[in-house]
Amino acid sequence: MDAQVKLLVVGGGKMGEALLHGLVAASWCRLDEVVVVEPVALRQSELAHRFKGLRVEGEITPGLRAEGAIIAVKPQHVEGACRAAAPALAGGRALSIAAGVTIANLERWLGPDVRVVRAMPNTPALVGAGAAAIAPGTTARPDDLGWASELLSAVGIVRTVGEAALDAVTGLSGSGPAYVFLVAEALVEAGVLVGLPRDTASALAIQTLLGAARLLSESGDDPGVLRANVTSPGGTTAAGLRVLEQRGVRAAFLDAVVAATERSRELGG
């Protein structure tokens, strides 16, 4: 069946679903302007149930045409997804959110008629609080970057960088949620260790992280200023921070971001 749609979403996983939900909520598109391609039958049914009126296909049908596409499949499936999507995107553009897949490969697989933008989002996009960076392909125009930024802004903040910086973005914000989750785990365990019930320790730790992040975001103050504001001379916070510094927590975070960045470079070839 021939069709012209505003957006083709190749990959109906969690990130693809999150972006679609954000775009519809922001009135960027209507469900009848989108086609999602998802080969897993169970996932097709889930998406069709959650988005009434959404067209979900197992593959890209002949004759389909799209103004733009989001490539949201696992890295090992990107080549096949791009080659399948290329005929539908002639003269259009594509945003890839596949980790480690270079612009050079995306452009080779999609062909010269498709303008490419590569992105590195992160999992808090699932709750509309993502952090993403985008990098333009060799033929991408300013309006293509604007289009990609609009898509990702529906689920968080977006910054534009050169492709070489995407590995650093991966090491910081791409992998960063896992670092925070590890901190949360440690705080909960510490609360239990000093005598709190686990559910109370969990609630207090999560709210502490949430509240600290909101204060950091909304106050406009530097993290060092906020840390100093809550640290009274000779007080409890000073005692705790002294231990963290002695144990090298600051250096450990620096090393973690560097290690994740280097690993991203290795995976990208």
* Residues 144/138, Cβ–Cβ less than 8 Å: no
Beta strands in the chain (DSSP E): 3-10, 34-37, 55-57, 64-71, 93-96, 115-120, 130-136, 156-160
d(CA 264, CA 44): 31
| Confidence (pLDDT) at 269 | 72
pLDDT band (50, 70, 90) for residue 3: confident
| Confidence (pLDDT) at 267 | 82
* Residues 110/87, Cβ–Cβ less than 8 Å: no
* Residues 67/5, Cβ–Cβ less than 8 Å: yes
DSSP 62: T
In this predicted structure, the answer to whether residue 189 has a pLDDT above a threshold of 70 is: yes
Both tokens of 42, joined, read 């169970």
In this predicted structure, the answer to whether residue 79 has a pLDDT above a threshold of 60 is: yes
Averaged over 60-78, what is the pLDDT?
94
* Residues 15/97, Cβ–Cβ less than 8 Å: yes
In this predicted model, what pLDDT tens digit does every residue of 81-119 receive, in sequence order? 999 999 999 999 999 999 889 999 999 999 999 999 999
| Confidence (pLDDT) at 194 | 98
pLDDT band (50, 70, 90) for residue 2: low
Q: Is-same-fold flag (3-161; 176-267)?
A: no
Give percent of the chain with pLDDT exceeding 70: 99
d(CA 168, CA 120): 10
Give which of 59, 111, 104 is closest to 82, Cα–Cα.
111
Q: Is 2 helix (H, G, I), strand (E, B) or coil?
A: coil
Mean model confidence pLDDT for the chain: 95
Residues 6+ apart with CB under 8 A from 113: 86, 89, 90, 91
Q: What is the CATH number of domain 176-267?
A: 1.10.3730.10
d(CA 5, CA 16): 17
CATH fold of the domain at 3-161: Rossmann fold (3.40.50)
Cα 196 to Cα 83, 113, 243: the distances in Å are 55, 61, 21
In this predicted structure, the answer to whether residue 144 has a pLDDT above a threshold of 80 is: yes
Domain definitions of the chain by residue range: 3-161, 176-267
pLDDT band (50, 70, 90) for residue 47: very high
SS3 per residue for 67-120: EEEEECCCHHHHHHHHHHHHHHHCCCEEEECCCCCCHHHHHHHHCCCCEEEEEE
Residues 6+ apart with CB under 8 A from 136: 116, 117, 144, 145, 160
**Composition of the chain by helix, strand, coil, percent to 5:** 55, 15, 25
